[in-house]
């Protein structure tokens, strides 16, 4: 269960909390909240109430007021944990209601995601939050951008960057899933050709399996001469006929290979697009900074002139 604070009140959500405990939670949570559709698969709104004075609703001195207490108890089920956005809320709720609360970095990623979609998941809320509380400051998004060599300040991150980064994230996830399938079939390379494939990446593995299953077909992505060592390449070519009766399912290998090539092309496209958006965002940000600096200089000069005028009049 999630207690989500908005500018005018509190909302209650049920959330697929398993994702908060996964080893790579910090890398994944943000991507659930890039669009309302994606969020609808992991979070479900139960309640929203406006509070005239939120500081009276929950604080160290008086605990929780009746409105927030009734709201929490209405939706709380025994054994649930409650994710909250402030350590103070965790302390007060656990002390007054005995409900076990979560407040950590994965929970903060969840809150940033909800803030980003606030007007979709809580349409009654008309106020706007500052971007520092939204996905622009997501640690998971920052990890992905850094992994692909994009060094960008949170204030430069816009919706185009967020959506394209999510497309890149999805491509990576799909490739990871296909890699698992390819590794299940890769034992044929060891059994038939005595090739050690343990350190191979997904493209190298998919290409090798395609070559032994369809030796006459073209390779659609990458150059085998650069991909494999001389010994590996000679074995793949010479042993192709041995795979005829090996039990390998050629049709499945072809489908996997084509899917991997498609995903790698998509990934390359999204990387190019993301690079373009980041470049535009940096240029726009730098231009705004120049305008602000010039405006500040004009203001300083104007104030200096005023001071001179005041002194002349006084003299």
DSSP letter string, 193-257: H----TT--HHHHHHHHHHHH-TTSPP-SS-HHHHS-HHHHHHHHHTGGGGGGS---HHHHHHHH
Phi (first) and psi of residue 82, to 5 degrees: -110, 120
Within this chain, do residues 172 and 107 fall inside the same structural domain, yes or no? no
Where residue 114 sits, what CATH number does that domain have? 3.30.420
Q: What's the mean pLDDT when you consider all of the chain? A: 90
Q: pTM, whole model, 2 decimals?
A: 0.83
Domain tally, the chain:
2
Q: How confident is the model at residue 298 (pLDDT cuts 50, 70, 90)?
A: low
- Pair (164, 283) in one structural domain: yes
Confidence of residue 305 (pLDDT cuts 50, 70, 90): low
The answer to whether 232 touches 195, Cβ cutoff 8 Å, is: yes
Least confident of 131-145, 157-171, 178-192, 244-258: 131-145
- Residue 206 sits in the same domain as residue 181: yes
CA dist., res. 205 & res. 227, Å (int): 10
238 shares a domain with 137: no
Q: Can you tell me whether residue 20 is helix, strand or coil? A: helix
pLDDT of residue 287 exceeding 80, the answer is yes
Residues 204 and 141 in one domain: no
How sure is the predictor about 296, in pLDDT bands with cuts at 50, 70 and 90? low
The helix/strand/coil state of 15 is strand
- Residue 306's pLDDT is 59
Instruction: Grade residue 245 by pLDDT with cuts at 50, 70 and 90.
Output: confident
- Same domain? For 87 and 158 the reply is no
SS3 label, residue 11: strand
Q: How confident is the model at residue 134 (pLDDT cuts 50, 70, 90)?
A: confident
Report the percentage of the chain scoring pLDDT > 70.
91
Q: What is the pLDDT of residue 157?
A: 93
Q: Residue 37 sits in which domain range?
A: 2-147
Kindly state whether residues 180 and 86 are assigned to the same domain: no
So what's the pLDDT on residue 313? Answer: 57
- What per-residue confidence (pLDDT) applies to 295? 65
Same domain, 195 and 142: no
CA distances to 57, 66, 175, 197, 269 from 212, rounded to whole Å, are 68, 70, 21, 14, 29
pLDDT score for 312: 60
Look at residue 290 in the predicted model and tell me its pLDDT.
78
One domain for residues 134 and 200 = no
Helical pair 250-314 and 202-213, crossing angle rounded to 10 deg: 150
| Least-confidence region, from 1-10, 15-24, 168-177 | 15-24
Choose the final residue of a domain: 96, 114, 147: 147
Q: Which of 118, 147, 176 is the last residue of a domain?
A: 147
28 & 124 share domain: yes
The whole-number pLDDT of residue 172 equals 95
Residue 4 pLDDT: 97
| 163, 93: one domain | no
End residue of a domain, out of 147, 181, 210: 147
Average pLDDT on 119-140 reads 83
Local confidence band at 285 (pLDDT 50, 70, 90 cut-offs):
confident
Q: What is the pLDDT of residue 133?
A: 64
Residues 179 and 314 occupy one common structural domain? yes
> Which pair of tokens denotes residue 116?
């980003």
């Amino acid at each position: 269960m999630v207690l989500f604070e908005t500018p005018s009140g509190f909302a209650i959500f049920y959330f697929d909390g398993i994702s908060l405990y996964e080893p790579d939670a910090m890398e994944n949570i943000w991507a659930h909240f890039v669009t309302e559709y994606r969020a609808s698969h992991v979070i479900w709104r139960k309640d929203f109430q406006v509070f005239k004075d939120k500081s009276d609703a929950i604080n160290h001195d008086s605990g929780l007021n009746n409105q927030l207490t009734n709201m929490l108890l209405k939706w709380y089920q025994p054994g649930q944990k409650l994710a909250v956005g402030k350590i103070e809320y965790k302390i007060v709720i656990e002390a007054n209601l005995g409900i076990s609360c979560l407040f950590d970095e994965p929970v903060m990623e969840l809150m940033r995601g909800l803030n980003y979609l606030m007007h979709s998941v809580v349409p009654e809320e008309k106020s706007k939050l500052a971007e520092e509380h939204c996905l622009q400051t997501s640690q998971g998004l920052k990890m992905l951008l850094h992994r692909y060599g994009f060094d960008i300040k949170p204030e430069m991150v816009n919706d185009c960057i967020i959506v394209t980064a999510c497309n890149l994230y999805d491509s990576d996830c799909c490739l990871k899933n296909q890699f698992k399938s390819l590794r299940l079939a890769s034992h044929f390379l060891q059994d038939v050709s005595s090739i050690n494939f343990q350190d191979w990446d997904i493209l190298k593995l998919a290409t090798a399996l395609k070559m032994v299953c369809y030796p006459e077909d073209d390779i659609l992505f990458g150059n085998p001469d650069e991909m494999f060592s001389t010994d590996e390449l000679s074995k793949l070519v010479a042993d192709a006929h041995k795979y005829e009766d090996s039990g390998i399912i050629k049709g499945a290998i072809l489908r996997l290979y084509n899917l991997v090539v498609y995903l790698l092309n998509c990934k390359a496209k999204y990387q190019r697009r993301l690079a373009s958006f980041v470049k535009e965002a940096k240029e726009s940000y730098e231009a705004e900074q120049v305008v602000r600096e010039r405006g500040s200089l004009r203001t300083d000069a104007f104030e200096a002139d005023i001071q001179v005028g005041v002194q002349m009049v006084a003299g």
